[in-house]
Structure 1
Amino acid sequence: MRRLLFVLWSSLRLPHFLGPLLALTILPSFAAGLGVSPTLLEFSPAEVAKGLTLRNTGTATLRAQVRVFAWEQRDGKDVLEPSTALLASPPFLTIVPGASQMVRVIQRGGAAPDAANGERSFRILVDELPASAREDVRANTPSGAQPGLTFLLRFSIPAFIASGVNASDAELHWRLQNTETGLQLVTDNTGNSRAQISDMQLMSRDGEVLYEHKGLAGYVLSGNVRRWSFGLPSSAAAATEIRMQVNGQPTRYPLAPADVTD
């Protein structure tokens, strides 16, 4: 029976490839059912490997591939680049109905960041492949190599290698900014750990909610800048405080006013 599968993952800017990747993807599937756990991998600097479990909850045999990409943020946008700092073994799997198989994600020597630097960030892409896909489909690009190939389902799993010595929490500094395309919300993360942002509220001086974004808004990686537009109304320019969940904890920050046009 045909069903719809909903997969949440971050919007990524993928250099040299056509077609935007949506934050919410709705894709068809016929009987196969790929599940992946956990949904986050965190390595200590000395940790050699973590396990990622792939499950087939459907009624047909499925094939999957697992690839690792370095995850950066440039110009306030997410970017994925090929990386061998983490290796997935095996990279290809065939899983019969009701079975599961573990993929080892291995930290190579020298992959851990220097003590003075922030944690390193990665995305592990797990793709369910159509039965017609060739065995050589794997490629060092997020979109894959085989012309015309359509993945049945994709999971994008965040993975991080901690900086170890001198590790600290995320340190966020928020401001509003006027641009030619409208009002933007901007934050700098000067800490050496990422921040997962959700449930944002822009507050006026007297406590009025001027704008609200419910649910996951994305990550701000260590040492990086992130920008959001959201179609912010002009009234949001009067906000003086921002409230949100940061890594699952309720947090509030002062919000610098918009006084610069880029």
Structure 2
Amino acid sequence: MRLPRRLAAAAFALALVAGVASARGQLQTRQTGVDLDAGDRAGRLVLANTGDAPVAAQVRVYAWSQVDGQDVLEPTDAMVASPPIMEIAAGGEQLVRLVRPTAAPVEREQSYRIVVDELPGQGESEAGSAIKVRMRYVLPAFVRAPDPAPAALECRIEPRAMVCRNTGGRAAQLGRSHLLAAGGRRVELSPGLLGYVLAGNTRRFELDAPVMAAAGSATQLEVLLDGQPASLPLARGR
């Protein structure tokens, strides 16, 4: 079963807000992702409550793949959260273990998304005029292969999109990014995280009309690749 793509493509931290906020608990994560070496059995995720009232949370883990250039999340038992549901006291923290049931090292990098949701408190109603804040964090998690080849990106411009393929053995994180167009003009794609291209996969990044107008003459992608500045040549697709 596939989850809706709007969840699969969610950013690291999403705040789901409607109307006037009245939540007193403040759910936060202490990390932006989880990394496990090939033979590791478990990783750690620390949640915190910076508010003045208890907050309940649920942690779920999904297998993360890329199909037809899009992110897809599917239920999995290859990594589980313990505990999956918790209540965090005001000002407190909660350690969540992310456990692999098997100790066998992976042969290829495995990718997951950890979805952390704030749950309604006791006596709270989703109906009525008192609208509550519900926090959702969507974090990447990787189980690394032994001695993986570094990420290696090949990007091309197609109608309405930029398509990047990663031929390396590690996922590639694309951060702040621009297209370098004719005359040295820089066209912004994203001021922050653009997305990931998983190891051995292809990711399609949709471009709006103004960006596509400049993309026709773009020759390079300037991007923070795994946190480091990089300049990648752009090919032309069909």
How would you bin the TM-score normalised by the shorter chain? 0.7 to 0.9
Kept in 2: contact 1:65–1:126 (CA 8 A) = yes
The Cα of 1:173 is off from its aligned counterpart by: 0.4
Matches within 5 A, 1:1-262: 15=2, 20-21=6-7, 23=11, 25-27=15-17, 28-109=21-102, 112-114=105-107, 117=108, 119-132=109-122, 152-165=134-147, 167-178=148-159, 183-204=160-181, 206-231=183-208, 232-258=211-237, 260=238
How far apart, in 2, do the equivalents of 1:240 and 1:73 lie?
26
Q: Rate the CA distance shift 1:206–1:110 in 2: closer, same or farther, 3 A.
A: farther
How far apart, in 2, do the equivalents of 1:212 and 1:78 lie?
18
How far apart, in 1, do the equivalents of 2:51 and 2:185 lie?
48
Instruction: Provide Cα deviations, 1:125-169, integer angstroms capped at 9, x if missing partner.
Output: 111100259xxxxxxxxxxxxxxxx9821111110000114x111
How far apart, in 2, do the equivalents of 1:209 and 1:35 lie?
35
Q: Rate the CA distance shift 1:151–1:123 in 2: closer, same or farther, 3 A.
A: farther
Kept in 1: contact 2:66–2:203 (CA 8 A) = yes
How far apart, in 1, do the equivalents of 2:223 and 2:177 lie?
4
Q: Report the TM-score when normalising by structure 2.
A: 0.84
In the alignment, structure 2 segments of 5+ residues that lack a partner are: 124-131
Q: How many residues align?
A: 222
The Cα of 1:218 is off from its aligned counterpart by: 0.7
The Cα of 1:107 is off from its aligned counterpart by: 1.9
The Cα of 1:67 is off from its aligned counterpart by: 1.0
The Cα of 1:25 is off from its aligned counterpart by: 3.8
Pairwise CA RMSD: 2.4
Secondary structure of the residue aligned to 2:191 is strand
Kept in 2: contact 1:240–1:257 (CA 8 A) = no
How far apart, in 2, do the equivalents of 1:210 and 1:61 lie?
45
How far apart, in 2, do the equivalents of 1:94 and 1:51 lie?
17
How far apart, in 2, do the equivalents of 1:16 and 1:39 lie?
22
Kept in 1: contact 2:40–2:103 (CA 8 A) = no
Question: Mean alpha-carbon deviation: is it higher for 204-213 or for 154-163?
Answer: 204-213
In the alignment, structure 1 segments of 5+ residues that lack a partner are: 1-13, 134-149
Kept in 1: contact 2:16–2:134 (CA 8 A) = no
Question: Mean alpha-carbon deviation: is it higher for 62-71 or for 22-31?
Answer: 22-31
Secondary structure of the residue aligned to 1:51 is strand
How far apart, in 2, do the equivalents of 1:220 and 1:162 lie?
15
Percent identity reads 37
AA of the residue aligned to 1:120: Q
Q: Rate the CA distance shift 1:235–1:52 in 2: closer, same or farther, 3 A.
A: closer
AA of the residue aligned to 1:50: G
AA of the residue aligned to 1:243: E
Deviating beyond 6 angstroms after TM superposition, the runs of 4 or more aligned structure 1 residues are: none
How far apart, in 1, do the equivalents of 2:142 and 2:36 lie?
6
The equivalent of 2:127 in structure 1 is none
How far apart, in 2, do the equivalents of 1:197 and 1:65 lie?
28
How far apart, in 2, do the equivalents of 1:209 and 1:157 lie?
30
Q: Report the TM-score when normalising by structure 1.
A: 0.77
The Cα of 1:48 is off from its aligned counterpart by: 1.8
